[in-house]
Structure 1
Amino acid sequence: MDALLKGEQALLGAVLLDPAQLDTLSWLEPHDFYRPAHQALFAAMRTHSAKERPTREADGTVPMSWLTGTVAEAGRRVRGLSASYAHTLIAACPRPKNAPVYGRMVLEGSIHRTVTEHAVRLEHVARVEAEQQQVDGVLHHADVLAGVLGDLARRWGTEPRPLAPPPATTGLAQPVPSPTVPAQAEDEQFLLAVLVSQPAAMAEVYDWLRPGDFAEPGHGQVYRCLGSLHHRSEPIDEVTALWEVQRRGLLADGTLSHEHLGNVFGGPGAGSAEWLGDRVIRSSVVRTAAVAATTIRSLAENEAMAPGRLIGQALHALGPLDEVRARWRTANGLPSPAPAEADPLERSAPAARVRAALSRSSTRQSAAQDARPTVGFPRSGTTTTSRSRTSPSHHPRSTS
């Protein structure tokens, strides 16, 4: 039994039984529904309701024209819809007054799907462009993902701010780093050889290149040793570099081997450290984006993850990419982006979050008010239900 499918059906059934529930669902969009037929039905409900709001009869029934008109309007968008399926939706709704809660379920499913979609797209672009070391496309899709997370946070009624995951997260697939492209390993090896052979070369990359930017862990450790010598203003050559490597125990613990060091120190020492360093940090940007996308996709595919926590942890996963992007901009002499001004939606966030919390569930009603309305004809013993008093035009929020 699919809980999300049941939630979509119950929501649509609630609106068919009580069109006034649309007032409490203005924060929900047709694309939030998973099934195309449900998208078409909800869009038709909004269109039909905007033209002429159906009202209940004195006996509590809803005009049959509301059901038939909605199905006819939705049938222009998708095929296969019939009045029988509308009755199936009505039967799937236990309580029409619970429409805001059903809508929250629909929005929660939409958030998970949307984050998954954009994370998969970023992951694909990063994998494709890893060999070409093109960062513009990767950064564009990362910015799109960050923007989507911000929009989803506002719709859910929470602040779009990073949230660190718990120390021990179980049940989630760990991101697998992208395999090192041979050209990347060669660039890193050539760069290290240039840094050892040219005493002044380290100053060209020291301010923005970090050991973690190297795809090969061994290359990163060698760069760390060279950086330590540079920081202490000690000379850098094959002898001092080998001594620093040995002092750190990198040969004893197997992190590096003499053969590996021979390939680095014995390589060609001619070239531009700044140019080679730029290629290394470009690879780091793409690789970091791929890891972030994999992490976010894993979070979004976890159905137990609350939307607020999903958005916060996804923004946290993008943090390392922002850091390496800033250093890449420094390496290329690009100015730092100007901080974006807060838009009106962000300025009104506290009030929106309060309203969102109020619309998470419907108001308690008496037993007489909780009676289930009918379409076209009254049930015996059915009394007229009052219009839901849930605060209109607000989106739901779940505790995270």
Structure 2
Amino acid sequence: MNPLLEAEQALLGAVLLDPQQLIHLSWLAPEHFYRPVHQALFAALRKLRADGHPALEGADAVPLEWVTDAVEEAGLHVRGLTAVYAHTLISACPRSGHAPVYARMVLEGAIHRTVTEHAIRLHQAARADALQGEVENALHQADVLTGVLGDLAQRWGSEPRPMAPTGQPAPAPFSPPPGRAARIVEDERSLLAVLVEQPKAIDEVVGWLRPGDFAAPGHGQLYRCLGVLHHRGEPIDRMTVLWEAQRRGLLADGTLSAEEIGAICDGVGLGGADWLGEQIMRSSVTRTAAASARAVRALAEDESLAPGRLIGHALHALGPLDEVRARWGTANGHGAPVAPPPPVEEAAAARVRAALARSTSPTATRASVRPRPAPKPPAERAPSRHHG
């Protein structure tokens, strides 16, 4: 039998043997039990205690009515519970005084199950939003999961603080539905074409759109190239973009090809940069939500993780979603401005001049820079007539 189910039986048996143990179990709720019959029985025991059952008067021997009344009360909410099973629970308890320890084992199992359940809900909401091009349901489920983690941490007695796991394998990337994926890729190509045709439009998206928001890794790297050229104050066209991509090794490692770059740079972007950027951000939010949900579920299914570490690692797994969500709010005007990666507008004048000098033809450079005439050597003084 599963040790957690044995802990549920031992805990209920301890309370049936010693009703006073309920005083130390106020932090445990019926829904923390796995089996419905155990949930109903623990709820019945708490109700009898709240109603002032005579078994709580502190007598040396616990009256038989404490067991029979608990079974009768629980039988109103669940079927199949008998007095025989109640006595089975009593025999499954090693020591009634260890009830708080058994209760912590029950709560540990409940924490793993609850986190798994809410991670599945977040993943389902992210998939549904990805199919419809929305983000609200995924963000709502992320808020619910964060609140659940905080409540579980309080019950467990730990601090809800993000902790990075060690050696945890990264979940596989989330793939949107095929029809939606084609639309996302087309929006990315359109945005890149707009930014090549109108380099000033980069200022409209650079504050909240990141290369990692692109579904196609090659498109994200191409967006990075455009941002770098814009940051250095260099001209942007098909040749300069191809040159920057080559310098970054994107052609050598197969991330992009010269034909792909040429097709994007020579293409026609349909839509404004800000609108296209928001469509890409929607996809990024749902992809990140799905990836965070899978990471949290993998953590919750690891039974070797203590509850405190599980909660901390789960909060850490939700960190990327919080970061993308903040930028999504900035893109829609609903959040505080997010500091962009290296500043673009505030580039030092010396760096801009140096970049322009590298982009200027050598002929123009030689024509604009005239060498100064060499200074004439000083004339020799004539010897004085008064000195030989």
Q: Give the TM-score band, short-chain normalised.
A: 0.7 to 0.9
Shift of residue 42, structure 1, vs aligned partner = 0.3
TM normalised by structure 1 equals: 0.81
Higher relative contact order (CA 8 A, sep 6+): 1
Deviations 1:122-168 (A, max 9, x none): 001101211322111111111111111111111111111111111x2
Please name the residue that 1:35 is paired with.
35
Cα distance between partner residues in 2 of 1:227 and 1:144: 36
Cα distance between partner residues in 2 of 1:138 and 1:251: 36
Contact in 2 for aligned 1:56/1:62 (Cα 8 Å): no
Match of 1:23, as an amino acid?
A: I
Please name the residue that 1:63 is paired with.
63
Cα distance between partner residues in 2 of 1:176 and 1:28: 36
Shift of residue 41, structure 1, vs aligned partner = 0.2
Pair 1:297 & 2:293 matched: no
Aligned counterparts, 1:353-372, within 5 A: none
Match of 1:277, as an amino acid?
A: G
Contact in 2 for aligned 1:199/1:237 (Cα 8 Å): no
Cα distance between partner residues in 2 of 1:299 and 1:286: 20
Deviations 1:8-62 (A, max 9, x none): 000000000000000010110000000000000000001112222414886x431
Please name the residue that 1:308 is paired with.
308
Cα distance between partner residues in 2 of 1:148 and 1:227: 40
Unpaired stretches in structure 1, ≥5 consecutive residues: 338-400
Contact in 1 for aligned 2:119/2:145 (Cα 8 Å): yes
Deviations 1:82-111 (A, max 9, x none): 000001000100000000000000001111
Contact in 2 for aligned 1:127/1:178 (Cα 8 Å): no
Aligned counterparts, 1:108-257, within 5 A: 108-166=108-166, 168-169=167-168, 174-180=170-176, 181-257=181-257
Cα distance between partner residues in 2 of 1:313 and 1:94: 34
Shift of residue 332, structure 1, vs aligned partner = 1.1
Contact in 1 for aligned 2:326/2:335 (Cα 8 Å): no
Contact in 1 for aligned 2:146/2:315 (Cα 8 Å): yes
Cα distance between partner residues in 2 of 1:7 and 1:284: 43
Match of 1:192, as an amino acid?
A: L
Aligned counterparts, 1:330-341, within 5 A: 330-336=330-336
Pair 1:287 & 2:287 matched: yes
Kindly report structure 1 stretches of 4+ aligned residues shifted beyond 2 Å: 55-58
Cα distance between partner residues in 2 of 1:121 and 1:74: 30
Count how many residue pairs are aligned between Structure 1 and Structure 2. 332
Cα distance between partner residues in 1 of 2:204 and 2:175: 28
Pair 1:324 & 2:331 matched: no
The DSSP-based 3-state class of the residue aligned with 1:160 is coil
Shift of residue 271, structure 1, vs aligned partner = 2.5
Cα distance between partner residues in 2 of 1:302 and 1:248: 40
Cα distance between partner residues in 1 of 2:277 and 2:56: 69
Percentage of pairs with the same residue: 65
Unpaired stretches in structure 2, ≥5 consecutive residues: 338-388
Shift of the 123–57 alpha-carbon distance from structure 1 to 2, 3 Å rule, reads closer
Shift of residue 218, structure 1, vs aligned partner = 0.5
Shift of residue 177, structure 1, vs aligned partner = 1.2
Shift of residue 263, structure 1, vs aligned partner = 2.9
Shift of the 318–55 alpha-carbon distance from structure 1 to 2, 3 Å rule, reads closer
The DSSP-based 3-state class of the residue aligned with 1:49 is helix
Pair 1:80 & 2:76 matched: no
Shift of the 24–270 alpha-carbon distance from structure 1 to 2, 3 Å rule, reads closer
Shift of residue 199, structure 1, vs aligned partner = 2.3
Contact in 2 for aligned 1:112/1:300 (Cα 8 Å): yes
Structure having the higher helix fraction is 2
Q: Which piece of structure 1 moves more, 108-117 or 231-240?
A: 231-240
The DSSP-based 3-state class of the residue aligned with 1:254 is coil
Cα distance between partner residues in 2 of 1:318 and 1:310: 12
Match of 1:256, as an amino acid?
A: L
Contact in 2 for aligned 1:116/1:296 (Cα 8 Å): yes
Cα distance between partner residues in 1 of 2:333 and 2:70: 58
Q: Which piece of structure 1 moves more, 300-309 or 229-238?
A: 229-238
Cα distance between partner residues in 2 of 1:110 and 1:57: 31
The DSSP-based 3-state class of the residue aligned with 2:112 is helix
The DSSP-based 3-state class of the residue aligned with 2:131 is coil
Match of 2:80, as an amino acid?
A: G
Say what the alpha-carbon RMSD is for the aligned residues.
Answer: 1.5
Deviations 1:314-372 (A, max 9, x none): 101111111111111111111349xxxxxxxxxxxxxxxxxxxxxxxxxxxxxxxxxxx
